[in-house]
Amino acid sequence: MDDWMPVLKKTRLFRDMSPEQLAVLLPCFQATVRPFSKGDLLCLTGQEQTAIGLLLAGKVMVQKEDGTGSRLIIGMFGPGDLFGEVAAFAGTGHWPNTVIADSAGHVLFIPYEKISRPCCVACDAHQVMMRNMLQILADKAMIMNQRIGFIRRKGMREKLAAYLFDQYRQAGNRTFHTPMNREELADYLNVSRPSMSRELGRMKHEGIIDYFKSSFSVVDPERLSTILQQAGH
Amino acid sequence: MDDWMPVLKKTRLFRDMSPEQLAVLLPCFQATVRPFSKGDLLCLTGQEQTAIGLLLAGKVMVQKEDGTGSRLIIGMFGPGDLFGEVAAFAGTGHWPNTVIADSAGHVLFIPYEKISRPCCVACDAHQVMMRNMLQILADKAMIMNQRIGFIRRKGMREKLAAYLFDQYRQAGNRTFHTPMNREELADYLNVSRPSMSRELGRMKHEGIIDYFKSSFSVVDPERLSTILQQAGH
DNA sequence: TTGAAACTGTTGCCCTGGCAACGCAAATGG
DNA sequence: CCATTTGCGTTGCCAGGGCAACAGTTTCAA
C-alpha cells in the first residue's frame, strides 16, 4: 500500500492533507488494491456496490449500456480519478455505470461504509476529505451537465463542433489529441460512426478543421464557434 | 424570516437538525428572501452567481438554452428544493442554467461564501448541513445521469417508453400525472412536439398507454418495458 | 513474412423525426 | 359574453443520419 503513497498524495480526494494525516486515515478505510488488465470489467451496471473506486494506475472507461447492445461512453478516467462515489453517496446500492479497463493498472476499492462515517481516529483529516468529496461531487455533476449539452444537440455538425470546441478550449491549443478512437468518439457523442466520419470529412474539406487519426486541429476557430451559436436552420 | 421556519425545517438541506440549531445557523447566512411572480427570471445562464437558491414557495423550471432559441428542460422544482448549488461548489462563478418561475412564490438566496466556509458559531450544525449537502449533490448527479439515459435514446418510442416507465415506477400507480404540458414534455425529452404527439397517438392506438391531457396511464406495462429492453431494430 | 484482426474512410438506401401549417377546443381576460 | 390566447392534435414534406456493406491501412501475433 505504501507504494501508492505518491499517487494518493496527488489525488483530489486527499488534497490539502498532510502525509501524516493521510497515513492515519488510510488504514481506517480497510481498502483493498486490485490489479487489472486490459478489458477487465471493474464493475457492471446494476451489480451490488459496497465500495467506491480510486484509480491508482492505468486507464478505465466508464460507459452506460442498454439492452440493445449500444453503449454511451461517459468518460475515460486516469490515475487519481474516483468512480462510483456518486451512486455511493446517493444511496443507491448498485453501480450506475459499467467500468471497463482500457489498459492494465491498479484500483483501490474503499468500502463506502468506512468512508462515509466519521472516522474513529483522525476526524480532522476526515473533515478535510469530506470537503474535498463535496467538490468532487459538484464537479461530476457539472461534467454531467456539460455532457447533456453535447448529446442534446440536434445536428451532427453541432455535436462535433461542441465537442471539438470544448477540447480546443481545454487544450489551449489549436492542435490536440483525443483519447478515443472513432468508434468510441461516436459512442461518446451518441451518433453512428459512419455519419460522424462523413461530417468530419465535410468539415475538413471546408477548411474548418483538420485531423489525422486521433490528432485533431482547429483550423478556423471562428467558424467553429459560429456553428454553435447560430445552430439551427 | 420566521414565517418560513416550517418550510425550512422540512428541507433536505436542514435535515437532522434541531430547531435550535437551525435558529443559530440561519442568521449566519445573511440570506435574503425574494418574492417572485409567474414568468420572472430568477437567474440566467452565464450571469454571475454569488448565491444558491432555496425555494420556499411556488414552482420554478430549470432549463438550458442554446443560441438557436431551442431549450432543454432540466426539471421542475418545488418548495424545499435547492438550485445553483452544483455550480457554486464546483467553483464556476456563473449560473449554468436558467431558472424561470412557473408560478408565484418566494426564494431564499443564500450567499455561497457564507454557506461554504465553516460557520463562526454553530459549527456542529454546519457539519450536519455539509453532510446533507453531500447527499443533495450526489442525488443531483444521479438525476443528471438518469437524464442522460432518456435523452440518449435513439427512437421517439424508446424515449417516451423510458420516460413513461420511469414515471409509472415512481408513482407506483398505472395512472399518473405529469407536471408538464406537451410542449414542455417535448423539450424535456429533447424532441419536437408534433413528432411526440404522433408517437403518443400510435402508442395509445396500439393499446400500450392511454392519456387525456396531462393524465397518463400505462395500459400494458409489459409491452412498455419490452420496448426499453430490446430497443433497436 | 504473412495472415488476421482492428481501425478508418466511403457510399447508397431508406426511414425517422423535424418543421411549418392548420384546425379545433379550452382557458383566460377584459 | 365575446375575443384572444394557449394547448393539443394532425398532416405532408423533406433532409439528416442510421445502417449495412465494402475497401484501404495499420497493428499485431504467430
Question: Tens of pLDDT along B26-64?
Answer: 888 999 999 999 999 999 999 999 999 999 999 999 999
Q: Residue A189: is its pLDDT beyond 60?
A: yes
Find the CB nearest B68 among A96, A131, A232: A232
d(C-alpha A72, C-alpha A90), whole Å: 22
pLDDT at residue B25, rounded to an integer:
87
Closest nucleotide to the alpha carbon of A201, via C1': C9
Inspect the interface and report whether the beta carbons of A90 and B66 lie closer than 8 Å.
no
d(C-alpha B150, C-alpha B158), whole Å: 8
Q: Residue A131: is its pLDDT beyond 50?
A: yes
Task: Give me chain A's average pLDDT, please.
Answer: 92
d(C-alpha B156, C-alpha B195), whole Å: 8
**Do B61 and B53 touch, CB atoms closer than 8 A?**
no
pLDDT at residue B134, rounded to an integer:
95
Find the CB nearest A141 among B70, B140, B232: B140
Which one is predicted more confidently, B105 or A118? B105
Among the listed residues A145, A194, A185, the one whose alpha carbon sits nearest the alpha carbon of residue A63: A185
Closest nucleotide to the alpha carbon of A197, via C1': C9
Q: What is the pLDDT of residues A57-78, one digit of tens each?
A: 999 999 998 777 789 999 999 9
d(C-alpha B46, C-alpha B43), whole Å: 9
Rg (CA), chain B: 20
Predicted model pTM: 0.93
Inspect the interface and report whether the beta carbons of A137 and B89 lie closer than 8 Å.
yes
pLDDT at residue B233, rounded to an integer:
30
Residues of chain A positioned with their CB less than 8 A from the CB of B68 = 230-233
Among the listed residues B35, B28, B29, B41, the one whose alpha carbon sits nearest the alpha carbon of residue B3: B35
Q: Residue A215: is its pLDDT beyond 70?
A: yes
Q: What is the pLDDT of residues B135-181, one digit of tens each?
A: 999 999 999 999 999 999 999 999 999 999 999 999 999 999 999 99
pLDDT at residue A232, rounded to an integer:
39
Inspect the interface and report whether the beta carbons of B86 and A141 lie closer than 8 Å.
yes
Q: What is the pLDDT of residues B94-135, one digit of tens each?
A: 999 999 999 999 999 999 998 887 765 557 788 889 999 999
Q: What is the mean pLDDT of residues A92-120?
A: 90
Which one is predicted more confidently, B42 or A119? B42
Confidence of residue A230 (pLDDT cuts 50, 70, 90): low
Please state, for a pLDDT cut of 90, what percent of chain B lies above it.
Answer: 81
Q: Residue A179: is its pLDDT beyond 90?
A: yes
Task: Give me chain B's average pLDDT, please.
Answer: 92
